[in-house]
């Protein structure tokens, strides 16, 4: 994504899903291809730790989700579902709503993973609220979207 100049504006990694707000300088011909490639890369990275730590129960669970067709193609684990929900952001108001939703997901009634959403480790909330930049490729929305 970095090579294609795609910016990550905000993200949160939850126990069973991920939210990410991306900026594409030009809309790709196939969003499915971009997301599929990103999910494949993330899946490889996610699998590294359980393999290294020999977490066989988790690896077996991820293997049990692989279809027969996928097994024939040598796929060993299924980390993500096939689908994703993409929304095109047409206004700064909508973008800011999405960032707020993403950042507050860990403190929602359903999850309540932390008391303060800026303390959730796997989120860009502390970048927006405290200026703490954990990842080099994270870009503040205001640094790119001057035109809104």
pLDDT by residue (tens digit) across 76-93?
888 888 888 888 888 999
pLDDT by residue (tens digit) across 109-148?
999 999 999 999 999 999 999 999 988 889 999 988 765 5
Q: Is the pLDDT of residue 28 over 80?
A: no
How much is the average pLDDT of 56-63? 90
Full DSSP string of 54-116: T-HHHHHHHHHTS-HHHHHTT-----S-S--------SHHHHHHHHHHHHHGGGSTTT---SS
Instruction: Identify the sign of the CA torsion 129, 88, 41, 105.
Output: positive
Cα separations in angstroms, 117 against 67, 95, 132: 37, 18, 14
How much is the average pLDDT of 95-109? 96
pTM across the whole model? 0.79
């Amino acid at each position: 994504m970095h090579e294609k100049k795609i910016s990550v504006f905000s993200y949160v990694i939850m126990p069973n899903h991920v939210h990410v707000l991306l900026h594409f300088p030009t809309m790709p011909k196939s969003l499915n291809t971009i997301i599929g490639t990103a999910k494949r890369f993330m899946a490889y990275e996610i699998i590294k730790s359980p393999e290294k730590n020999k977490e066989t129960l988790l690896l077996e669970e991820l293997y049990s989700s692989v279809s027969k067709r996928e097994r024939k193609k040598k796929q060993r684990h299924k980390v993500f579902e096939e689908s994703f929900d993409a929304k095109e952001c047409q206004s700064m108001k909508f973008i800011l709503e999405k960032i707020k939703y993403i950042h507050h997901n860990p403190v929602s009634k359903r999850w309540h993973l932390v008391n303060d959403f800026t303390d959730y480790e796997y989120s860009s909330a502390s970048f927006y609220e405290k200026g703490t930049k954990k990842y080099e490729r994270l870009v503040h929305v205001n640094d790119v979207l001057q035109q809104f």
